[in-house]
Amino acid sequence: MSIASSTHRIARFALYGVLALFCLYYLMPLYVMVVNSLKPLSEITSGGMIALPKEWTVAPWRNAWSEAQVGVEATGMRPYFINSFLMVIPAVAIATILGALNGYVLTKWTFKGSTILFGFLLFGCFIPFQIVLIPMARALGMMGLAGTVPGLIFVHVVYGISFSTLYFRNYYAAFPTELVRAAQIDGAGFFTIFFRILLPNSGPIAVVCVIWLFTNIWNDFLFGASFSDFNSQPMTVALNNLVQSSTGVQEYNVHFAGAIIAALPTLLVYIVAGRFFVRGLMSGSVKG
């Protein structure tokens, strides 16, 4: 074996070694969460955070899901989990459809001032959440939506439109205008063209948009904490309440299980649609 190839092998080895080390480093928190959610509390308090459980149990998961004291009653996280879904699904659907419509109009039915309008819409991407808290609370109150799930949906749709419009506008800018013209000559109207021609060809960008909105809205804590009451709190707020409860013993194993439950849906969305994510991001931004 020549010297060149042996030094090459050593370099390779070192490289993979470092990568493996980083991999371990990044996976460590997940490992700690999973392991500790599966052991009795006594094992954690006796100082074995890293060790595998001596006695395996799913009790902390059951506890977090349906028995833990989160709100006034010991309901576990289940009702809040449902709240989150009731909020996320309509919010994502509405923001995506509106974004697609905006993108369609801003690229294929341009009017005087459409570029400026798009600029203002984009501006929404850069407004920090904190700034709108008080005006939004007032607006929700006036609409009679304060402290309700529809109120939260409204807030998230308003914030989501900026991003979904950005995605779809850039995607549709590269969409051949001749197709729209051909459909016009074929006799299709504004909405027919949108639903029959553009939307069916928007797969990649729709996936990007849905992942982005789903993750953001699911993970949102600030709006959830500010604009909900006991019956409409989303998952993130419930998790906070679970962990922050000051009465009794800190049940770390239950906290770990709850945190994993809270993170599972976004994780699933990434695993299922993730490979479209990068592809869609590229197709939206590069061609646009």
Partner 1 sequence: MSFLDIDKATKSYGAVRVLNETDISVEEGEFLVLVGPSGCGKSTLLNMIAGLEGVSSGEIRIRDRRMNDIKPADRNIAMVFQSYALYPNMTVRSNISFGMEMHGVRKAKREEKIAEIAELLQLTPFLDRKPGQLSGGQRQRVAMGRALTRDPDVFLFDEPLSNLDAKLRVDMRTEIKKLHQKLGTTIVYVTHDQIEALTLSTRIAVMFGGEVQQLGTPQEIYDNPTNMFVAGFMGSPAMNLLPATLRDAEGGVAVELALPDSSYISLPFPRGATLSGQDGRAIVLGIRPEAMTDPESADAESPAIHQAELSIDVIEPAGSDTYVTVSLCGKDAIGRFRANTSARAGARFPFSFDMAKAVAFDPETEQRID
Q: Which residues bind partner 1 (CB under 8 A)?
A: 176, 178-179, 181-188, 192, 196-197, 200-201
What gap in Å lies between CA 157 and CA 92, rounded to an integer?
A: 7
Smallest separation, CB 187 to partner 1 (Å): 4
Smallest separation, CB 175 to partner 1 (Å): 10
Smallest separation, CB 191 to partner 1 (Å): 12
Q: Which is nearer to partner 1, 47 or 200 (CB)?
A: 200
What gap in Å lies between CA 237 and CA 37, rounded to an integer?
A: 20
Smallest separation, CB 270 to partner 1 (Å): 26
| 3-class SS of residue 79 | helix
Q: Which is nearer to partner 1, 4 or 185 (CB)?
A: 185
Closest CA to 75 of 225, 233, 221: 233
Q: Which is nearer to partner 1, 167 or 175 (CB)?
A: 175
Q: Which residues 6+ apart lie within 8 Å of 45 measured at CB?
A: 252
What gap in Å lies between CA 8 and CA 18, rounded to an integer?
A: 16
Q: Which is nearer to partner 1, 158 or 183 (CB)?
A: 183
Q: What sign does the dihedral 223-229-235-241 (CA atoms) show?
A: positive
Smallest separation, CB 176 to partner 1 (Å): 6
CA angle 128, 132, 133 (to 5 degrees): 110
Q: Which is nearer to partner 1, 201 or 245 (CB)?
A: 201
Burial class, 38, CB count within 10 angstroms (exposed 0-12 / middle 13-18 / buried 19+): buried
